[in-house]
Structure 1
């Protein structure tokens, strides 16, 4: 069994992967969405997946990067564990592995750009809180990777093979340095997202029983392609995966038509609600062009008028989260084999 679920995380990401056989099932959480998602959607969903257990076990919790629309729910999860720890009560949650790249010690609370200072200061503060709570709860060190989570690292998590595609070590160091100098500027129209936190996103390539998933955070497509190339995952410059979480909520600043030509998927998942113009309608056109009439599905966590249903002759479908459901769920593998 293998399922992927993108919860209704408003303008952010909160992704749940569930896999295993029989009663031996495992849950991974990648990002926790912005304020309100933990209480309204994520916490109830995790409890539902836990069944009647006294503690909900999460085989892996990962924070792709420290922006509030990805980290807030994870921070609230860790705070609940801390509160139980302080009160000497059994925690409602059990985390086996926590992966994150917190701000490095000594990093300034904000850069010189006054307009961005408040948001950046809050993001760095939240990142430091995750780092400190990880230490308190015995979850420090990004086990079994050890140290900073960067491209080239690999792990097996309960039978799930995981390759870290990004960020690359030099890339991550450069982004933090650029932020400290406050000179993070776009240099070209393509791949123009200059947000240093987005560029430092942890990108994961997951594989289980022949099914592959590319989880991209808010990373830029050129960085993703470079990481895939270094990992030896591009065959003739191309990779096909079963499922791709479209980078940065479908922003056109993070991808290009060439990116979708290089990385194709059977399922494209977009987590967004229209905030900041995400997803951009051009992104759907780029995806459709890359498949040239082949069959695939685009999954949306919220209705997007700009992502209107296309002519059926285009060969793909658009599936939107039902209003009464916590997320859009894709069944990738059942006990009998892969299915959609």
Structure 2
């Protein structure tokens, strides 16, 4: 059994994956969407019996608000909801500080530092290490000297191959993170200033336990913080976001470049399911990693499904990347808010690659003005593709 759901995360990502035998389901959660969509994720957790709220892996792909904020709220609620995470993958200040850099300076960004505090608090609560567990040097990246891409086996016969970020992308993020804090007037580790900002809003509060109480929730007050401030989308700023007329593969966001992306294979030895889960990664990084996986320079990576990077942005898709994969199912997570994703040229590039062959299948988790163009059944028949939109709270494949 393998199932993937795209929960309603507005303009962000929140992917819920289940696999394994019917009597032993394994789960992976990738990102949590922006703060205001967290109730949908929380409701999905509550649909499980309390004894089954166990995740083999939680992945926070990068620091952008539309991926990280829901996880900040979830980790505060984790104890009250009986949520257990065996591994949490996220590259924060401790990991970036270890990336080889001639300057060698410590760094941090507010959203990343907040999440780092919560992960550390969760580890203390669990009494075991979960942060980037299974990764070399406890950093989720492809080392510059690595001969092969990092491979991690999860319980339940699942294998993950890391495709992004590479060493250079993390180094660039490290070099610019301190600059962003300087613009915000905050020094890394300046707890007094952070506390003052955190107390100015209630944006990222947990929702408490199932009865509405929050006494048992994991609170930042225990660490000397009141997590109420709404942090800016620091390195993933909306400024300069590529529009629909941008060149293919033109993303320059350092936050997106640092995004964790991986190939999921199940069962691991003779996979019948292969998913490329791309976060907001750069297409050039994905293409380079895929080339390392292929036995021949002209071959294609056969995939069951591809979760498009950056919500179907033209800047995170390229003809070169698509030429290296053979895929039918394409997942696009967005309601089109803020940036009008997906870009029509990106979706049309997918259909053009199929050229009316093999029936491309487009999976959207919203039916909105930016996704309705591909809901026309006559157009689907004429160009031999299928499009799916959610009939309930989420789209399930």
- TM class by shorter chain equals 0.7 to 0.9
Distance of aligned partners of 1:178 and 1:127 in 2 relative to their CA distance in 1, 3 Å threshold: closer
Q: Distance in 2 between matches of 1:300 and 1:311?
A: 15
Choose which of 302, 324, 329 in structure 2 pairs with 1:262.
324
Counterpart position of 1:42: 41
Distance of aligned partners of 1:142 and 1:297 in 2 relative to their CA distance in 1, 3 Å threshold: same
Choose which of 315, 328, 331 in structure 2 pairs with 1:253.
315
- Contact 2:308–2:331 (CA under 8 A) maintained in structure 1: yes
Distance of aligned partners of 1:212 and 1:233 in 2 relative to their CA distance in 1, 3 Å threshold: farther
Counterpart position of 1:199: 257
Secondary structure of the residue that 1:19 maps to in structure 2?
strand
Q: Distance in 1 between matches of 2:387 and 2:118?
A: 40
- Contact 1:55–1:94 (CA under 8 A) maintained in structure 2: no
Q: Distance in 1 between matches of 2:295 and 2:381?
A: 32
Counterpart position of 2:366: 302
* RMSD after superposition: 2.3
1:153 aligns with 2:150: yes
| Deviation of 1:313 (Å) | 2.7
1:23 aligns with 2:23: yes
Counterpart position of 2:266: 208
1:99 aligns with 2:89: yes
Q: Distance in 1 between matches of 2:295 and 2:264?
A: 12
Moved more, 53-62 or 98-107: 98-107
Q: Distance in 2 between matches of 1:4 and 1:91?
A: 22
Choose which of 285, 293, 302 in structure 1 pairs with 2:348.
285
| Deviation of 1:5 (Å) | 0.6
Unaligned runs of 5+ in 1: 85-89, 110-123, 331-340
Total equivalences in the alignment: 302
Q: Distance in 1 between matches of 2:330 and 2:314?
A: 15
1:274-329 Cα distance to aligned partner (Å, 9 max, x none): 1212100011110001112121210111114344133413221110112xx22100
Counterpart position of 1:170: 168
Q: Distance in 1 between matches of 2:280 and 2:135?
A: 21
- Contact 2:287–2:320 (CA under 8 A) maintained in structure 1: no
- Contact 2:294–2:300 (CA under 8 A) maintained in structure 1: no
- Contact 1:55–1:91 (CA under 8 A) maintained in structure 2: no
Counterpart position of 2:63: 66
Secondary structure of the residue that 2:75 maps to in structure 1?
helix
| Deviation of 1:134 (Å) | 1.6
Q: Distance in 1 between matches of 2:296 and 2:250?
A: 23
Secondary structure of the residue that 1:36 maps to in structure 2?
helix
| Deviation of 1:176 (Å) | 2.6
Distance of aligned partners of 1:306 and 1:78 in 2 relative to their CA distance in 1, 3 Å threshold: closer
Counterpart position of 1:328: 395
Secondary structure of the residue that 1:130 maps to in structure 2?
helix
- Contact 1:64–1:201 (CA under 8 A) maintained in structure 2: yes
Q: Distance in 2 between matches of 1:55 and 1:242?
A: 27
What TM-score, normalized to structure 2?
A: 0.71
- Contact 1:45–1:326 (CA under 8 A) maintained in structure 2: no
Choose which of 128, 142, 157 in structure 1 pairs with 2:113.
128
| Deviation of 1:34 (Å) | 0.3
| Deviation of 1:126 (Å) | 2.0
What TM-score, normalized to structure 1?
A: 0.82
| Deviation of 1:237 (Å) | 4.6
1:228 aligns with 2:296: no
Counterpart position of 2:215: none
